[in-house]
Amino acid sequence: MDRSAGRGRVHGAQLQAEAPEPALRLLSDVLRLPRLRLAARATGADATVLLAEIAHIEASSDGGPRSNAGLSDADRDAYENLLLLCPTHHTLVDKQSNSYTVADLRDWKKEIEDWVEAQTGKKVTAVTFAELQVICQALLASQGLGSTLMIAVPPAEKMTTNALTARVGSFMTMGLAQAPQVANYLQDTATRLDPTFPRRLRAGFVHQYDHLHEEGLVGDALFFGVLKYAVDSATPASASHVDAFTYQAAALAVLCHLFQICEVFEAPVANA
């Protein structure tokens, strides 16, 4: 990618923890690669170091490696045109752009996405009340919001209303498989411990949803942004990649349950 492009764009800089742009946030956190493969773990003297870099599949500027003059700036910085690479391979693919083609890099990206989806799917079936408790406790707001009527809406209908694509659909299917267990957990906790628990959980999700929406995230980016918030809020920095996927699966189950009963995201007009 072109490392000399102007200020304010997504570049091949080292991933940072502070408020990245929407496309950078989506890429780095949904794929979970910094934690899994592209990070040097903390030592007794130093913190964890993120080594991943954002690479453009088609160049970020005219004349860059694999450039496409027909792409707008927005398309160049869109999720679909971004790939996480280690610094060595980032340099390699840009300096040997004839050998590493657009098709090659898109294949790499697809392999990564398929792997992440598969790992999450393996963990969804193993989610228990214990993992749900960790996720929900991390997301509780101090005060609850009034609940909706909690009428389940066909996921496909609500996905269309919120401009969610098949990319979210596969994750939605996984998460909804555990929706009954999430409902049981919330009812059990509200009955035995805290009647405000479901409303406070909803408030935590809605607050982040509103925050990301105000930042300009919509559609798939908004869904994965809310999921990222849930995962990052609950996952300990010391978690192994196996544990990280377990927490991601639990967070996905909670989010999809709330999505289905119209506690988070926009309801279809007939159900609003």
pLDDT tens across 123-151, in order? 888 888 888 998 888 888 765 555 554 55
Among candidates 6, 264, 74, which has minimal Cα distance to 153? 264
Q: Which two tokens stand for residue 262?
A: 């119209």
- C-alpha separations of 172 from 154, 189, 237, 269 in Å: 12, 24, 26, 21
For the chain, the average pLDDT equals 78
3-state secondary structure of 216: coil
pLDDT tens string 47-84: 767 677 788 999 989 989 999 999 998 888 887 888 88
pTM assigned to the model: 0.73
Domain boundaries, the chain: 22-115, 125-271
Give the model's confidence band at 11: pLDDT under 50 very low, under 70 low, under 90 confident, else very high: very low
Give the model's confidence band at 34: pLDDT under 50 very low, under 70 low, under 90 confident, else very high: very low
Q: How far apart are CA 221 and CA 164, in angstroms?
A: 9
pLDDT tens string 179-215: 899 999 999 999 998 988 888 888 888 888 999 889 8
Give the model's confidence band at 27: pLDDT under 50 very low, under 70 low, under 90 confident, else very high: very low
3-state secondary structure of 54: strand
Q: Which two tokens stand for residue 270?
A: 């007939």
Helix axes 219-234, 241-260, angle to 10 degrees: 130
